[in-house]
Structure 1
Amino acid sequence: MPSAHNLRRIARHFDLSEADLFADHAEFTRRHILNQKRTASGPVDLMIGPFRDQTQTLRRYLGFYHSHFQTPTWDGLILRSLIWIYEKDGYVMSRSVERVVAEDGSVNQKSRYDGMVSQRGNRVYVVEHEMVRDGSIVETILTPSHRQQVKYLRGMTIGVAWRPHISPYTSRSIWKRIENKVTLREALKACGVFPAQSRQIDPVIRKYLSDPSDSDAANVLY
């Protein structure tokens, strides 16, 4: 039997009371295992759980992308935003920045979204929160078309448009990885809105967003 001094040290090390060390097996299980499981399955864990332990799975997706999608806010145009996928404290995080100025200068949109990323099966889920008071929640679901290719990530975005009135929308979404030689300033400057057939938009992206018969789109959506 350890001395009283050593018992206190053992209890302190395992964050237990000295009485816990003498509890029978059933009582110890009830106090410290079952209760711990109940705590772990609370509301916060319900949402955070799917995003834990994703670093190794998603490592090849870390980096910067241009996201392209269409929203009623900019009807008939393609919106290009900057997205950063990075690792922090064991989680894979996202940060999206939108910068748009209307041609007539009437609208100057600057938005930032922070979120988390998880892979389930062959789908990558990005759930983001707009970083303003009462900001909207946006979800993007992506399907990598090839295991070794992450130049393009195709999928769908679900969000909330703020023009002409606040309403939910869905859009095809396609991300294009930004090459290492492109500076962050250049990548941010390239953001904005573009006509659907603009030559400033990669032909692969134009086709995916505009062609319902695109086989890659069908593979993602179904």
Structure 2
Amino acid sequence: MHQNLAANLRHLCADYPSVAAVCREIGINHQQFAKYLNGRSMPSPNNLRRISRFFDVGEHILLGDHAELRRHTTQLAKTEADRRRDPLIDVFPGDLQRLRPFLGSYQVFFRAPNDSTKAIINVAFLDERNGTVYSRVVEALSEGKSSTRRWTRCDGKAAFRAGQVFVVDSERGPDAPVSLYILNKPHRDKSKLLFGTMSYLASLSGRTPTSSPVVWKRAENYRSVRELFSKSGIVDLKSTKLDMRIQQYLLVASTDSDAKTITE
């Protein structure tokens, strides 16, 4: 065990300017640390814990086979490299345990960007794969008076952070816009509604930046996805097809006080 620790410490210290610098950072006596490096002494449980925390390596790995330590540090290096390449790598899924209750199917309600008297209803799905929660939002709008529908699909990821559900998604293609949903379930609210805001580029000339209050309503007891899609499209904001709370939120959520009253 002495020799395992010595080899592992020498390997870890090689990434630093000097052993003295490591000792200063840990707050440990240089002469004592040199004995660990030479395999002549073992650290006390307290010192072993401090060394382990400094190098971000488990105590069992510090004391274990040198090949295992090299495998561990190689994986850490890859993780750090990934973080440098992708600053948002740790954002998704955030708190996965708190996000899991939100998995499932939803109807998504928001104000139409080109007509303040109308609401658009989309369909959304949140599902978990390999520890990440993925989103899929589908819009199916009728074109004119025909029965033909224009379908738009956006794929993205969801995260639970700061007590909110965040969904970021995009259509496919190199020039596709990105949309953001920030959703909240009011405290002690037993309904199946999530209230929030969405920001996106409207499908209008110039792809106008747009935001809208949005409500996600959990879809349950539907027989097929086709049935869900059949209920999507454009409706009048005052239509009886909309739940009263959804209707009120979309109509008056432009002011914080009104929105707070509706969601409580």
In the superposition, the TM-score normalised over structure 1's length comes to 0.77
Higher RCO, 1 or 2 (CA under 8 Å, sep at least 6)? Answer: 1
Alpha-carbon distance change, 134 to 211 in structure 1, aligned in 2, over 3 angstroms: same
Match of 1:169 among 210, 227, 249: 210
Cα shift readout 1:168-192 (whole Å, capped 9, x = no counterpart): 0110000111113443221111010
Amino acid at match of 1:218: K
Residue 49 to residue 203, structure 1, CA distance change in 2 (3 Å): same
1:25-104 superposed matches below 5 A? 25-27=12-14, 32=73, 35-36=77-78, 38-44=80-86, 46-52=87-93, 54-73=95-114, 76-104=117-145
Q: Name the aligned partner's letter for residue 99 of structure 1.
A: A
For the pair 1:178 / 2:219, whether they are aligned, the reply is: yes
**For structure 1, which runs of at least 5 residues remain unmatched after alignment?**
2-19
Q: Following TM superposition, by how much is the alpha carbon of 1:142 offset from its aligned partner in structure 2, in angstroms? A: 0.6
Greater radius of gyration (CA):
2
- Once the two structures are TM-superposed, the CA of residue 155 in structure 1 deviates from its matched residue by 0.2
What residue is the counterpart of 2:180 in the other structure? 139
Alpha-carbon distance in 2 for matches of 1:103, 1:214: 35
Compute the RMSD of aligned alpha carbons.
Answer: 3.3
1:49 shift after superposition: 1.3
Shift of 1:88: 0.8
Please give the alpha-carbon distance, in whole angstroms, between the structure 2 residues aligned to 1:185 and 1:108. 13
- The answer to whether 1:211 aligns with 2:198 is no
Deviation beyond 6 Å, 4+ runs, structure 1: none
- Tell me the alpha carbon deviations over residues 187-211 of structure 1, each in whole angstroms, 9 at most, x when there is no partner: 1110101111112122211111002
Task: Say if 1:175 and 1:200 are closer, same or farther in 2 by CA, change over 3 A.
Answer: same
Structure-2 residue corresponding to 1:200: 241
Task: State the AA in 2 paired with 1:71.
Answer: A
Q: Which runs of 5+ in 2 are unaligned?
A: 2-6, 18-69
Larger strand proportion of the pair: 1
Three-state SS of the structure 2 residue aligned to 1:205 is helix
Counterpart check, 1:112 vs 2:99:
no
